[in-house]
Homo-oligomer: A and B are copies of this chain.
C-alpha cells in the first residue's frame, strides 16, 4: 500500500489507527486470546476427587493429595502469564507485520497452547520417584521450545529493523535481545538438571519466574510515540 504518499497531510488520529496500533492489532488480539485460553484450560487438568477416593481418605485429604496439580497449575499459569506480559512488550517495539512474522507467531502460540499437556504429565508423575524426572524433563523441553520460538519472533521482527517502529530506541532493542537469551539458556539448564533431580529442575523454573518478574522493572525503555511510525510495507 502507498500509505506514505498520503501521510503528511493527514490527521494524526488516522495515522494512529492505520499505521500505529492497527497493523499489529488483530495479531495482538488473537495472541491474547490464545494466551488467555491456554492459561484458563490449565484448570481442566485438575480433577475433583472421586467419591470412592473421598470415602476412603476423606475429602480434605483427597483435596490435599492433589498438591502436584496445584503446584503445576501455579507454575504454568505464572509462566504463561509472564510470557503474555513479555509478548506485550514485543509489540511496543514492533508496530508492523508481514506474512512470515504472522506465521512465526502462530508457531510460537502452538507451543503456548501445548502447555496444558506437559503440565498434566508433570502433575501426574511428580509424586512418582520412578517417573518424575521424565515429567520434569518433558516440561522443561516444552518451555525450551517456547523460549526459542519467542526469540525467533522477536529476532525476526527486529532483525535489520524489519518491522520495528522507526523511532524504536536501538539500545533498548539490543538490551532486550540480550535479555531474551536468558530464557532458552535457563530452560536448557532446567532440562539438564531434570536428568538428575526433578526438584532442582523445578527450582530453576521458579527462579526464572522471579527473574522475569523483576528483570524489567528498571525502565530501559525510551520508546517514543506510537503514532510516528514510518512507511508501511
Contact = CB atoms under 8 A, between A and B. Distances in A.
A223 B37 CA distance: 33
Interface string A202-233: 00000000000110110101111111000001
A117 to B, nearest CB: 5
A178 interface: no
Given A12-B14, A38-B40, A54-B131, 17 more contacts: A1-B225, A11-B12, A16-B17, A17-B17, A17-B21, A18-B227, A21-B22, A33-B36, A34-B40, A43-B114, A44-B116, A46-B117, A54-B125, A63-B121, A63-B134, A84-B106, A85-B106
A102 B83 CA distance: 12
Interface residues of A, number: 89
Identical chains bound together, number: 4
A30 B35 contact: yes
Interface of A: 1-3, 6, 10-14, 16-18, 20-22, 26, 28-30, 32-46, 48-49, 51, 54-55, 58-60, 63, 73-74, 77-78, 81-82, 84-85, 88, 98-100, 102-103, 106-107, 109-110, 113-117, 120-121, 124-125, 128, 130-131, 134-135, 138, 213-214, 216-217, 219, 221-227, 233
